[in-house]
Structure 1
Amino acid sequence: MRPLRDAQLGAFTFFASALPHDVCGSNGLPLTPNSIKILGRFQILKSFTHPRLCQYVDISRGKHERLVVVAEHYESSLSDFQRQGKTASPDMVLQVAYEVLEGLEFMNKHGMVHRALAPNNVLMDCKGNVKLAKFGLYYMTDRGGDVDFPIGYPSYLAPEVIAQGSFHASDPSNEEASLPSGPKSDVWSLGALLFEMCAGRRLLHNIEISERLKFILTLGCMDDIVTVLAEEHGCLDTIKDLPENVLELLRKCLIFLPSKRPTPAELLGDGVFNEISCLYMPFQKPLSLFSSALRCAHLELPEDISDLCKEEEEVDYLSERAIDEVYYLWCLAGGDLEKELTNQGIIQSKPPLCTLPKFLLEDGESFGQGRDRSFLLDDTTVTLSLCQLRNRLKDVGGEAYYPLLEDEQSSLPQSASNQDLSTTVTLPLIIRERDTEYQLTRIVLFHRLLQAYPYKRDLVWKDARVDIPPLVRGMAWAALLGIEGDIQAKYEGIDKDTPIPTDRQIEVDIPRCHQYDELLSSPQGHVKFRRVLKAWVVSHPDLVYWQGLDSLCAPFLYLNFNNEALAYACMSAFIPKYLYNFFLKDNSHVIQEYLTVFSQMIAFHDPELSNHLNQIGFIPDLYAIPWFLTMFTHVFPLHKIFHLWDTMLLGNSSFPFCIGVAILQQLRDRLLANGFNECILLFSDLPEIDIERCVHESIKLFSWTPKSATYRQHAQPPKTAITNGNGFGRPVPYYFSDYQDMPRTDLSRDPLALSDLKAELSPRISAEDLIDLCELSLGGVGKRTRAGKPKIVAVDIRSAEDFSRGHLSGSVNLPYSSAFGPDGELVQCPGTGVLHSFRGRVIVVISHALKSGTTFASHLVKVNFPRVCMLDGGIIKMRSTGLLTVPSPQI
């Protein structure tokens, strides 16, 4: 979006027509309220950025089908010029005409018309340039079919629109009403506006509406409509004195028959604008962040270079921010749309008695209230005051708006109010997301980082570890997933229209996917859902559509509602990373391996809980498949998924295991106290989960989990870039790498059959992982925590004789035969006290025989030793490293 600059934020409201409550659609579901339909159609209007159009910012849905629209606004309009009663100069007429036509042509290219063109909707900025307002009203209301009022103003409506009548565009009883207004209708409205500017008076202002409409329809019998209108308004001499090119422009606009009237595009290329068209540069669409074009090709310095050197007191930094950013901060600073409209008298509350309907008795007598005119369109636009926001940000220094990306200091600037914003980082995330000053600094920082993407991708990842501002979450996720290239061309090249067998299942799933959300439940949301899902299915012929894919798509579609290509690209990059081969036609082996590794992670981090769940037979197959198949989008609402995925996207494919364990630990007390049936009921209606706590616990669990412990044979194979078969992505940085991405060596983990994997309660780790964790190559004996205690310890369960022939430095010898009794309980032996002192650290069991190592590790888990794992391949893998030591003989 473009900067706010001299513009203001304006809001206007209207009601959508109400639907009957007892009527269902063809699918048996209740009808979608008209207000939600409008809300869905509105979204595309936010993506329209043109110098002749007021930028749409937001739409909110209130009670009783009320909608409030926020858009760029200017106080000056052609209405002000009319009230002065002056005639416009020919140059001004041509300028206004050309600029209005530029805006209309842009709309026409996107399949839209204005229909509500009137003096109060032709705004003027501080430089006197045209800004068309309310240009999306006709489109968002489905040509007026979703509201109870007509779109447009009688004095400016084209004859063909008036002849069509006031039927709704969606009225099936009127065939002609289904014909939408075309681009030529706006040309007539423009002609009426220009005539008023030339005549210095309003068109048919003192005539009743019915007579006014009749008069316009009778103009079809006239040869020169401009002359007839001039005679009717007593300004014939004024019109005749106009330059020939202006008079010719009026005549071309005010042609009665649409077939002979030019379109805005045709009129722009007409000779009447030969002298003025050279003063305007062709409009260039802003380049997308993800495209093949050079984004910096059209960078320009200000005309006056001294503007860059203004004193700080003269610079309005906030006005240089994008309109959507300013509105977002305005809301955080306490802005309330309905309160603003109520203060201006636009929204008026009435006692219930005054809202009773009107009754009609058999004798014709009626009583009660007439039609409430507040449900008709009030086109008043209320200017939203930014004083409260500016007051809130008055102590934020100018450096906050221009952070240095390579500064070694904190990227969070300090405010001048002695409040260090870096302290805000320690507050809960929900508080940070509502802090105006903090969000400003984060938005500005991410905006600059994303502008430099992909070259600053490492810094995006670094700052995303702190948090991701909600306003830029969609783009930040795309950067974290490594999206690059001309994604729009790639998406458009996919056939999304040809019927395929999956269509039926997609149609069934979409109306059940996150439909509590107004955006995703709208008809436009369903259409976009269908297109993105179908694009993924078609472009991945080796995979199939499984239920749950729609839930995976929902977060990406919500964040990129106006950019289906980016939603598809993110989804195509996300699935191979976290759900590789989950969507095979036969995915049982992939799912079973995933669930088995998850079971081992539960045993690794919480053996007591693992033992209880195994004892009652409550295995992950009964509850965790929807978790991982949809990456928790099926069980959590979107606002929780956003916070969860903000962190998950920073980790590798093993991070979801830690999220699953963290969820179980929040339910730990209830799970330990219940049996199988109670646990089934508990998960059938999952209790409220504290997502922020879940995220923090997941990070902690992830930091304690050795990389190779989550190794899966069916995970994504090693890669040099996150290309995912579709060309999206860049080389994977170190922080994205999985254990599978590391070069294979003799010390790596060997693939394990599923049956053998299920037989082991504890996970295995590779020899190279053990070496890295123990820092043996550096000469250390144990990786240490911040407290100074070793984080990991190697327990060698071979006999004392074998241990003396060669062992890892710092390892502890606890022979298997002397550690446990016949019943599996710990016995009193010399190594018992040492074993208990290791509780809480990562215990790596090293053995010579696989069976003894598996049994020993399982026994430790059963007696509730946490963080127990085994060395894959045993001591044999370590013999080739040269790291085994032999104790010196005692003298």
Structure 2
Amino acid sequence: MPPMKDARLGASTFFASALPHDICGSNGLPLTPNSIKILGRFQILKTVSHPRLCRYVDISRGKHERLIVVAEHYERSLEDFQRAGKPVSQDKVLQVAYEILEGLEFMNKHGMMHRALAPRNVLMDCRGNVKLAKFGLYHMTNHGADVDFPIGYPSYLAPEVIAKGPSRPSDCSHGELPRPSGPKVDVWSLGILLFELCVGRRLLQSFDISERLKFILTLGCMDDIVTVLAEEHGCLDVIKELPENVLTLLRKCLTFQPSRRPTPSELLKDPALQEVSHLYTPFRKPVSLFSSSLRCAYLELPEDISELCQDEGEEYLAERSIEEVYHLWCLAGGDLEKELTNKEIIQSKPPICTLPNFLLEDGECFGQGRDRSFLLDDTTITLSLCQLKNRLKDVTGEAYYPLLDDEQSSLPQSNSSSELSAAVALPLVIRERDTEYQLLRIVLFDRLLQAYPYKKNQVWKEARVDIPPLLRGLTWAALLGIEGDIQAKYDGIDKDTPIPTDRQIEVDIPRCHQYDELLSSPQGHMKFRRVLKAWVVSHPDLVYWQGLDSLCAPFLYLNFNNEALAYACMSAFIPKYLYNFFLKDNSHVIQEYLTVFSQMIAFHDPELSNHLNEIGFIPDLYAIPWFLTMFTHVFPLHKIFHLWDTLLLGNSSFPFCIGVAILQQLRDRLLANGFNECILLFSDLPEIDIERCVRESINLFCWTPKSATYRQHAQPPKVAGDNNGFGKTPSYYSSDYQDLPKTDLSREPLKLSELKAESSPRISAEDLIDLCELSGSGHCKAPTKKTKSSKPKILAVDIRSSEDFSRGHIPGSINIPYSTAFGPDGELVQCPATSTLQSFRGRVIVIVSHAVMRAATFAAHLVKVNYPRVCILDGGINKMKFTGLLTVPSPQI
């Protein structure tokens, strides 16, 4: 993103035309408001970046179809030359012509026309270079079809536009869209504009509107329109003094017949403009983050970085992009409607003043005429940054240039560094609204992402603190490991040929997160279709299931103007968390997933698990939409963003912990209700505290042994895993259990029927060895501070006979023989948890035995009496015999 430099933030407003309330579309749904259509069409304008165009920043939708547009703005424009009343020099005319044509040519390449070219929309920056404003109004309003006012100024409109007449929104209600103007329309407007610069006065302003339009149309009978205009306005002497090359340029622009009039790209080749072309460097589009092109920056830093910040009056904020400045302006209390109201652009009227007029039989008229406020007021106000600058006054210059050393603190030093350190402990919603904190996080993440993938590990490290909302889309892509030329891959997918899934996609999209203005727009629907269809086509072994649209929604929202990145993120996310969920027959995958989830409920909250099992409220009744859509079908987008910020840092087992955390928030209500009440509770899920859910999910995740969530239908091992977890990099939870190399101590796959028969999860022998910190010497190592914080406390309970236990057992384990608790037929004789295990309550209890069935029975009883964190050693003691880690008790002396 280019820096803001001397630009300002400008805001303007207009109304979209209102639609009738009693008309529905062909699908039976209410018509999409025109303001929503404009909002969706506007988004692509934010990606149009060129030195000759003012960047569009944001659009806000208000009441009564009001839209407020925020864009780059400058106080000077060509109107300043007109007010001077003097002809402009030949060099300045050619400069303005060349720079305007550069902007128009770039727009034409993107399929856009200005149509509102006029002196007030040709702004000048501090160096006197042209910046075209309002160039997106014609595009975002669907060529004027979605507003009640004409696009353009009659004095500067081309004859063919005037001859066509205005297009009314009512003309487009039946799908008859107006034919858009072509690039040559702007060339005529440029000709009038240049003519006015040459003569130093405005043209066609002295007539009545009807006379003015009639005069323009009569120009079609003239051979030399430039001479006719000069005679009409008494400036023929000035025109005659112009150089021939300038006159030729004017005549080319003011060619009446569109077929003979050149396009902007053709006009740039005019000899007069070629004389100034050498003064300009051809524009090159910046290399995007995810592409095959090399990215490099030529930086020459001083030895002492503080030298960058010696100028106390330096405007560091101006070095940030205009998108960042606007984002921070909003966080600092900026209010668009309030700003426009203070400038009297928005004026509220009492209802009595808005009554329509009516006529009595005698012709007497009462009421108001047409409200002029609903017509276009193209006034642009400059948004004041004083409040933002005052909010950031304590941020020193060094904060804008953070060091990227891995050992450096993530929070740059400033006068309020202690306050910033304290801010990390505040709730996430507060941090995201803290202007100073967000500035530092944005600056840091921006630099880290520019260095991606070289700084990939540090992106992970900082993401564990939080992710700035402004850069969430790119950060997610980095966390998912997106690299390479994603656009070329996306373009190579056939998204146009009809396929059987098209009908289902068309049905699902109008129901997916339609409360959101962006996703509910026609542009949002179109992008939904393209991304979903690209995924279906590029994964022929998988099929489209309902819920895939909800899964796509967060990626599309964050990358609305980059379908390729949304597709790439979705394609990387599904194999990691939903491997084989979208098979044509996914029953075995779903059933295994739900069974493991049931075991996780029993592992972390046995009391709740027992109650739900007693009333028959199994995960099949409520959890399938959770996991099939990774909770996007359950929560609104703003909660999904916070949830997925953490989900993307965990491995494929983390969703189990999220599910358990949700149940624990509803724990009291679930324990107090029966089956019917629970069904009703989940049909309209109560409000869930997402920050609490995330916090508890991480705690549950850290208490869950890696192999406890093993699934044989999970994603196969990766060749080289470089994921990161919640601890130091690398950590115990840095990757999936499936990614670890398989050994004789690894967990063995189970049949689904066997898995369902066990209420507690199994863990592998290697997991037990790692968690117990066993060494080759056969002794249990004392846990270090790091181990204590990153690994759960564990206790091995050996249920073999005392004789077998004495021949060799796991160091630190305790012996509770199975026969002392259960009879020969498996009936309970004495509760094994009455006294022996009471002091170990809260640890991860691993049941060890010769026979896994006995261990499962023993574990099931502990769960029955509400003992948490109970699991079974997969393979039993036999897997430990050949490790050399078993020990025998010392002889009593």
Counterpart residue type for residue 324 of structure 1: E
Q: 2:862 aligns with which of 850, 860, 863?
A: 860
**Is the 2:771–2:792 Cα contact (8 Å) retained in structure 1?**
no
CA gap of 1:33–1:176, structure 2 versus 1, over 3 A, is closer
Take 1:370 and 1:216, find their aligned partners in 2: how far apart are those partners? 30
How far off its partner does 1:820 sit?
4.9
Take 2:656 and 2:57, find their aligned partners in 1: how far apart are those partners? 39
Counterpart for residue 126 of structure 2: 126
Counterpart for residue 386 of structure 2: 387
Counterpart for residue 107 of structure 1: 107
Counterpart residue type for residue 635 of structure 1: V
SS of 2:35's equivalent? helix
Take 2:538 and 2:875, find their aligned partners in 1: how far apart are those partners? 41
Take 2:539 and 2:477, find their aligned partners in 1: how far apart are those partners? 20
CA distances 1:542-575 after superposition (whole Å, capped 9, x unpaired): 0000000000000000000000000000000000
How far off its partner does 1:719 sit?
1.1
Counterpart for residue 163 of structure 1: 163
**Is the 1:573–1:723 Cα contact (8 Å) retained in structure 2?**
no
**Is the 2:353–2:368 Cα contact (8 Å) retained in structure 1?**
yes
Counterpart for residue 495 of structure 1: 494
Counterpart for residue 343 of structure 1: 342
Unaligned runs of 5+ in 1: 725-730
Take 1:499 and 1:684, find their aligned partners in 2: how far apart are those partners? 35
Take 1:112 and 1:472, find their aligned partners in 2: how far apart are those partners? 28
Take 2:338 and 2:595, find their aligned partners in 1: how far apart are those partners? 55
CA gap of 1:788–1:356, structure 2 versus 1, over 3 A, is closer
**Is the 2:145–2:177 Cα contact (8 Å) retained in structure 1?**
no
CA gap of 1:890–1:320, structure 2 versus 1, over 3 A, is same
How far off its partner does 1:363 sit?
5.2
Take 2:419 and 2:668, find their aligned partners in 1: how far apart are those partners? 39
How far off its partner does 1:168 sit?
3.0
Take 1:344 and 1:172, find their aligned partners in 2: how far apart are those partners? 34
- Would you say 1:48 and 2:48 are equivalent positions? yes
SS of 1:776's equivalent? coil
CA distances 1:592-634 after superposition (whole Å, capped 9, x unpaired): 0000000000000000000000000000000000000000000
Counterpart for residue 149 of structure 1: 149
Counterpart for residue 737 of structure 1: 735
Take 2:176 and 2:508, find their aligned partners in 1: how far apart are those partners? 36
CA gap of 1:350–1:96, structure 2 versus 1, over 3 A, is same
CA gap of 1:266–1:308, structure 2 versus 1, over 3 A, is farther
Take 2:300 and 2:71, find their aligned partners in 1: how far apart are those partners? 28
Take 1:826 and 1:289, find their aligned partners in 2: how far apart are those partners? 66
Counterpart residue type for residue 760 of structure 1: E
**Is the 2:703–2:791 Cα contact (8 Å) retained in structure 1?**
no
Counterpart for residue 506 of structure 1: 505
176-185 or 25-34, which moves further after superposition?
176-185
Take 1:636 and 1:55, find their aligned partners in 2: how far apart are those partners? 34
Counterpart for residue 727 of structure 1: none
How far off its partner does 1:792 sit?
0.4
Take 1:605 and 1:379, find their aligned partners in 2: how far apart are those partners? 61
SS of 1:116's equivalent? coil
Take 2:187 and 2:460, find their aligned partners in 1: how far apart are those partners? 51
Counterpart for residue 878 of structure 2: 876
88-97 or 833-842, which moves further after superposition?
833-842
How far off its partner does 1:759 sit?
0.2
Q: Where do residues 241-280 of structure 1 align in structure 2 (5 Å cutoff)?
A: 241-280=241-280
CA distances 1:617-657 after superposition (whole Å, capped 9, x unpaired): 00000000000000000000000000000000000000000
Counterpart residue type for residue 765 of structure 2: A
CA gap of 1:790–1:486, structure 2 versus 1, over 3 A, is closer
How far off its partner does 1:890 sit?
2.1
Counterpart for residue 750 of structure 1: 748
**Is the 2:328–2:439 Cα contact (8 Å) retained in structure 1?**
yes
Counterpart for residue 204 of structure 1: 204
CA gap of 1:377–1:826, structure 2 versus 1, over 3 A, is farther
SS of 2:86's equivalent? coil
Take 1:688 and 1:611, find their aligned partners in 2: how far apart are those partners? 24
**Is the 1:773–1:782 Cα contact (8 Å) retained in structure 2?**
no
CA gap of 1:828–1:688, structure 2 versus 1, over 3 A, is closer
Counterpart for residue 843 of structure 2: 841
Counterpart for residue 780 of structure 2: 780
Take 2:176 and 2:85, find their aligned partners in 1: how far apart are those partners? 39
Q: How many residues align?
A: 881
SS of 1:807's equivalent? coil
Counterpart for residue 353 of structure 2: 354
Take 1:766 and 1:760, find their aligned partners in 2: how far apart are those partners? 15
How far off its partner does 1:167 sit?
2.0
CA gap of 1:230–1:308, structure 2 versus 1, over 3 A, is farther
Counterpart for residue 538 of structure 1: 537
833-842 or 317-326, which moves further after superposition?
833-842
CA gap of 1:580–1:174, structure 2 versus 1, over 3 A, is closer
Counterpart for residue 760 of structure 1: 758
- Would you say 1:718 and 2:717 are equivalent positions? yes
Between the aligned residues of both structures, percent identity stands at 81
- Would you say 1:592 and 2:591 are equivalent positions? yes
How far off its partner does 1:206 sit?
1.2
Counterpart residue type for residue 226 of structure 2: V
SS of 1:834's equivalent? coil
Unaligned runs of 5+ in 2: 724-728
CA gap of 1:69–1:761, structure 2 versus 1, over 3 A, is same
Take 1:670 and 1:192, find their aligned partners in 2: how far apart are those partners? 73
How far off its partner does 1:314 sit?
3.1
How far off its partner does 1:359 sit?
2.2
How far off its partner does 1:178 sit?
2.5
Take 2:730 and 2:168, find their aligned partners in 1: how far apart are those partners? 55
**Is the 2:765–2:873 Cα contact (8 Å) retained in structure 1?**
yes
CA distances 1:142-165 after superposition (whole Å, capped 9, x unpaired): 000000000000000000000000
**Is the 1:78–1:124 Cα contact (8 Å) retained in structure 2?**
yes
Counterpart residue type for residue 740 of structure 1: Q
CA gap of 1:417–1:740, structure 2 versus 1, over 3 A, is closer
Q: Where do residues 796-811 of structure 1 align in structure 2 (5 Å cutoff)?
A: 796-811=798-813
How far off its partner does 1:833 sit?
2.1
How far off its partner does 1:362 sit?
5.1
How far off its partner does 1:395 sit?
0.4
SS of 2:29's equivalent? coil
Counterpart residue type for residue 432 of structure 2: E
**Is the 1:582–1:590 Cα contact (8 Å) retained in structure 2?**
yes
SS of 1:445's equivalent? helix
How far off its partner does 1:780 sit?
2.2
Counterpart residue type for residue 800 of structure 1: S
CA gap of 1:288–1:854, structure 2 versus 1, over 3 A, is same
Take 2:185 and 2:351, find their aligned partners in 1: how far apart are those partners? 42
Q: CA RMSD in A?
A: 2.3
CA gap of 1:418–1:706, structure 2 versus 1, over 3 A, is closer
**Is the 1:12–1:69 Cα contact (8 Å) retained in structure 2?**
yes
CA distances 1:283-327 after superposition (whole Å, capped 9, x unpaired): 10111100000111x74779xx99985633132110000100000
Q: TM-score, normalised by structure 2?
A: 0.96
Q: Where do residues 585-624 of structure 1 align in structure 2 (5 Å cutoff)?
A: 585-624=584-623
SS of 2:837's equivalent? helix
SS of 1:72's equivalent? strand
How far off its partner does 1:832 sit?
4.3
**Is the 1:14–1:67 Cα contact (8 Å) retained in structure 2?**
yes
SS of 1:204's equivalent? coil
Counterpart for residue 726 of structure 2: none
Counterpart residue type for residue 493 of structure 2: I
Take 2:865 and 2:363, find their aligned partners in 1: how far apart are those partners? 87
Take 2:420 and 2:173, find their aligned partners in 1: how far apart are those partners? 62
Counterpart for residue 452 of structure 2: 453
CA distances 1:81-123 after superposition (whole Å, capped 9, x unpaired): 1011011000000000000000000000000000000000000
How far off its partner does 1:33 sit?
0.3
Counterpart residue type for residue 590 of structure 1: V
Q: Where do residues 627-776 of structure 1 align in structure 2 (5 Å cutoff)?
A: 627-720=626-719, 736-776=734-774
**Is the 2:702–2:792 Cα contact (8 Å) retained in structure 1?**
no
Counterpart residue type for residue 549 of structure 2: D
How far off its partner does 1:2 sit?
1.5
666-675 or 776-785, which moves further after superposition?
776-785
Counterpart residue type for residue 766 of structure 1: S
How far off its partner does 1:356 sit?
1.1
How far off its partner does 1:422 sit?
1.1
**Is the 1:413–1:421 Cα contact (8 Å) retained in structure 2?**
no
Counterpart for residue 222 of structure 2: 222
Take 1:788 and 1:519, find their aligned partners in 2: how far apart are those partners? 41
